[in-house]
């Protein structure tokens, strides 16, 4: 098979997701769009991540020369316990020949996802553990989400994004809550990992490699998790569901992964949801109605949605787990969230910055406490609007940049991003949620930030008053 080229599909569809507790640095401090894509956070990923290959290609395919010794899957095709994609692909392609053109060219094969990351969790290579803006160093095809979001260039590395101004504190040996949300669902599963910041750097990026993260995968606590509503932020509005943990045939060996509990649509084996209505779930949903492709179905430009359709696909809930923080030395750490897809060769990554302290020396951060800040407006965080401080009454020349939508992928699932002109009445961030108009611009609230003392200085998120998250359960 020398010279072969694995082509996954002629018309791609990227999964999208983000970690929002603790808040990812890739949000740029923006909370609008939580839990799905705050600040374009769901556009940071690694495309072309095939199991057993030496590096991610940044594309949706791989050549034999790029991957001469592919790995064998450890999770069987359509596995009833750990699998997330269940479809009769040959039958589907007979009924939908145009959509399956990429598969027709290569001939029918049953196991079309056999090279994708979830089939051997943790083994697919990544170019950056905190994600790459747009999924690769070159833009991907239209409809894949493989383009850069506003404020960061194509290929910007997640490890090089400045930490957020709002700081998160955890206690060594405690149990804490973490959460993520889905914009475009492609099955698979996920893991949380820590990496110690060994040297103080401007962006706290030292040693933040995949090798470092794989040395400290976090232990999931218990066999339960929660679907949390209220745009994923209301800790009093959650429902417990069984968690499906995966411990065998994973990397790092001996670590635990968790299956994505939200079923995708059962009628689209490759496209996932673009240009289609979801007829039902791939597998039994954890709660009635909790399944689907997500708001990404409205975001590709392939199938524009009405505001009502956008609201109905919004997935305004997050997936909450409890993880145990190991007894590690106090200091600065980076938390990596890694989601290995089953439906496409993609690994979605976000990173958050946390301070781990010894019990009795500090109070831990209250999970789901506010974290939106002024990062986009501050020179200290290299924000894209930091040069607009003298432009409040000037829309000409160099200031025109501040009054027009920033360059970047018009994702469609969230409003366009403009430095000035669309603030709330108090000069801060305006509110927005799916179902509200998104064909206008949105501003990060720089006017309020610049008028508030110390707004560009680090501060702690709300502290946990009780010891709930520090109790070993």
Contact of 299 with 183, CB cutoff 8 Å: yes
Q: State yes or no: cis peptide before 22, omega within 30 of 0.
A: yes
75 part of a folded domain: yes
Q: State yes or no: cis peptide before 35, omega within 30 of 0.
A: yes
pLDDT value at residue 228: 98
Residues 5-37 pLDDT 10s:
443 333 344 558 999 999 999 998 988 889 998
**Residue 431 vs residue 31, higher pLDDT:** 31
- Which stretch of 117-121, 279-283, 294-298 has the lowest confidence by average pLDDT? 294-298
Q: Is 271 left (phi over 0), alpha (psi -120 to 50) or beta?
A: alpha
CA 274 – CA 284 distance, rounded (Å): 21
Distances (CA, A) of 469 to 175, 333, 466: 5, 18, 8
29 part of a folded domain: yes
Residues 211-255 pLDDT 10s:
999 999 999 999 999 999 999 999 999 999 999 999 999 999 999
pTM of the model: 0.90
At 53 the three-state DSSP class reads coil
449 part of a folded domain: no
Residues 104-126 pLDDT 10s:
444 334 455 688 999 999 999 99
Examine the pLDDT at 473 and tell me if it is beyond 60. Answer: no
- Which stretch of 277-291, 339-353, 380-394 has the lowest confidence by average pLDDT? 277-291
Closest C-alpha among 192, 313, 314, 188 to residue 262: 188
Residue 283: which pLDDT band, with cuts at 50, 70 and 90?
very high
**CA 5 from centroid of its chain's CA atoms:** 28
Domains: count for the chain: 1
Distances (CA, A) of 213 to 58, 257, 426: 21, 14, 41
At 214 the three-state DSSP class reads helix
Examine the pLDDT at 127 and tell me if it is beyond 80. Answer: yes
CA 405 – CA 401 distance, rounded (Å): 8
- Please compute the mean of the pLDDT values over residues 310-316 and round it to a whole number: 86
pLDDT value at residue 372: 82
Contact of 40 with 366, CB cutoff 8 Å: no
pLDDT value at residue 465: 79
331 part of a folded domain: yes
466 part of a folded domain: no
CA 41 – CA 372 distance, rounded (Å): 13
Residue 100: domain span: 5-357
CA 214 – CA 340 distance, rounded (Å): 14
At 335 the three-state DSSP class reads strand
CA 24 – CA 152 distance, rounded (Å): 15
397 part of a folded domain: no
Examine the pLDDT at 421 and tell me if it is beyond 50. Answer: yes
- Sequence-separated (6 or more) residues with CB below 8 Å from residue 217: 191, 192, 193, 252, 255, 256
Enumerate the β-bridge partners of residue 138: none
Examine the pLDDT at 267 and tell me if it is beyond 80. Answer: no
pLDDT value at residue 433: 76
- Please compute the mean of the pLDDT values over residues 337-346 and round it to a whole number: 93
Tell me whether residue 468 is exposed, middle or buried, using C-beta atoms within 10 angstroms of its C-beta: 0 to 12, 13 to 18, 19 or more.
Answer: middle
Long-range (24+ apart) CB contacts under 8 A made by 379-385 are 379/456, 380/162, 380/456, 380/457, 381/29, 381/162, 381/164, 381/165, 381/456, 382/162, 383/28, 383/151, 384/28, 384/150, 384/151, 384/152, 384/419, 385/419, 385/420, 385/444, 385/446
Closest C-alpha among 242, 233, 223, 239 to residue 473: 223
pLDDT value at residue 438: 59
CA 320 – CA 224 distance, rounded (Å): 9
**Residue 248 vs residue 97, higher pLDDT:** 248
CA 341 – CA 116 distance, rounded (Å): 7
The two beta strands, 416-417 and 175-184, are unpaired
Contact of 180 with 318, CB cutoff 8 Å: yes
DSSP labels for 188-208?
A: -EEEEEEEE--S--TTS-TT-
- Please compute the mean of the pLDDT values over residues 436-440 and round it to a whole number: 65
Q: CB neighbours (10 Å) of residue 120?
A: 23
pLDDT value at residue 259: 98
The two beta strands, 441-442 and 416-417, are parallel
What percent of the chain stands above pLDDT 90?
Answer: 58
131 part of a folded domain: yes
CA 85 – CA 87 distance, rounded (Å): 6
403 part of a folded domain: no
């Amino acid at each position: 098979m020398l010279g072969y080229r694995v082509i996954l599909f002629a018309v791609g569809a990227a999964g999208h997701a983000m970690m929002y507790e603790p808040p990812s640095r890739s949000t740029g401090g923006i909370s609008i769009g939580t839990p799905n894509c705050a600040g374009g956070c769901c556009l940071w990923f690694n495309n072309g991540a095939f199991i057993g290959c030496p590096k991610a290609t940044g594309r949706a395919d791989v050549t034999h020369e790029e991957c001469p010794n592919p790995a064998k899957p450890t999770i069987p095709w359509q596995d009833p316990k750990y699998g997330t994609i269940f479809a009769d692909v040959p039958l589907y392609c007979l009924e939908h020949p145009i959509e399956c053109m990429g598969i027709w060219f290569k001939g029918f094969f049953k196991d079309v996802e056999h090279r994708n990351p979830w089939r051997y969790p943790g083994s697919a290579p990544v170019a950056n553990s905190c994600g790459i803006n747009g999924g690769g160093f070159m833009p991907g095809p239209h409809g894949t989400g493989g383009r850069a979001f506003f404020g960061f260039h194509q290929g910007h590395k997640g490890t090089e994004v400045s930490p957020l101004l709002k700081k998160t504190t955890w206690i060594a040996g405690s149990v804490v809550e973490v959460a993520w949300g889905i914009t475009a669902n492609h099955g698979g599963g996920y893991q949380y990992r820590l990496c110690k910041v060994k040297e103080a750097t401007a962006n706290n990026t030292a040693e933040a490699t995949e090798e470092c993260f794989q040395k400290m995968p976090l232990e999931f606590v218990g066999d339960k998790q929660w679907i949390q509503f209220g745009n994923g932020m209301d800790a009093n509005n959650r429902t417990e569901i069984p968690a499906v943990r995966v411990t065998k045939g994973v990397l790092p060996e001996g670590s635990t992964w968790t299956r994505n509990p939200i079923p995708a649509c059962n009628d689209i084996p490759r496209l996932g949801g673009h240009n289609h209505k979801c007829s039902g779930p791939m597998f039994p949903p954890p709660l009635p109605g909790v399944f689907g492709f997500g708001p990404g179905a409205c975001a590709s430009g392939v199938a524009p949605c009405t505001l009502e359709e956008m609201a109905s696909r919004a997935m305004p809930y997050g997936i909450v787990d409890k993880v145990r923080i190991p007894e590690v030395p106090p200091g600065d750490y980076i938390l990596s969230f890694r989601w290995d897809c089953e439906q496409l060769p993609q690994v979605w990554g976000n990173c958050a910055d946390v301070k781990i302290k010894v019990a009795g020396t500090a109070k831990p951060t209250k999970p789901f406490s506010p974290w939106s800040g002024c990062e986009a407006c501050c020179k200290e965080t290299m924000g894209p609007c930091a040069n607009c401080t003298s432009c409040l009454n000037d829309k000409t020349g160099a200031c025109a940049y501040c009054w027009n939508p920033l360059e970047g992928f018009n994702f469609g699932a969230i409003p366009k991003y403009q430095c000035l002109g669309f603030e709330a009445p108090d000069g801060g961030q305006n509110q927005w949620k799916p179902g509200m108009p998104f064909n206008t611009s949105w501003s990060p609230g720089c006017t309020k930030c610049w008028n508030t003392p110390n707004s560009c200085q680090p501060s702690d998120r709300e502290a946990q008053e009780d010891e709930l998250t520090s109790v070993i359960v």
